[in-house]
Amino acid sequence: MDQALDFCLRLARANAAIVRRLDTVLGGHHGLSFSDFMLLQHLARAPGGRLRRVDLAERQGLTASGVTRTLLPLEKTGWVARQADERDARVGYAVITPAGHVLLDNATLTAREACDELLRHSRPDQLDALSAV
């Protein structure tokens, strides 16, 4: 088998296993999917804790309608809010709320523990090399 293809197939399997594990752990502890966690991460890291929905969709690998569907439950729970642009009514932002920051801080600790457990047999230099790929 081609090395590049083999690597990509193994990487896809690893990704699926990681997502399943984080979905389970984050869902059980915080009522949050891994996708929701990533969305909150993107918002928290953005300037002002906000992103245009189209930019959030791009970062999440979703369509604009997909990100809107993903945001709805987060808005209902108060973890994310909508914000209109003062200069252009056509532009809408998703903003992480203070409650969203608290949830994300707690969920990050849980995710970190789960990832440490998943990669417990890996050396830091191995993880650095894989991250560089």
Residues 34-64 have pLDDT tens digits of 999 999 999 999 999 999 988 999 999 988 8
> In the structure, what pLDDT confidence band is assigned to residue 1 with cuts at 50, 70 and 90?
low
**Domain region containing 56:** 3-132
What distance in Å separates the CA atoms of residue 115 and residue 111, rounded to the nearest whole number?
6
The two tokens of residue 14 are 């690893």
pLDDT tens digits, one per residue of 31-41: 999 999 999 99
pTM of the model: 0.86
Q: Can you give the CATH number for the domain in which 85 is found?
A: 1.10.10.10
Q: How many domains does the chain have?
A: 1
Gap between the Cα atoms of 54 and 90, Å rounded: 12
The pLDDT of residue 18 is 93
**For the ranges 28-32, 66-70, 108-112, which has the lowest average pLDDT?**
66-70
CB atoms < 10 A from the CB of 59, how many? 16
Query: H or E element: which one contains 24?
Result: helix 3-30
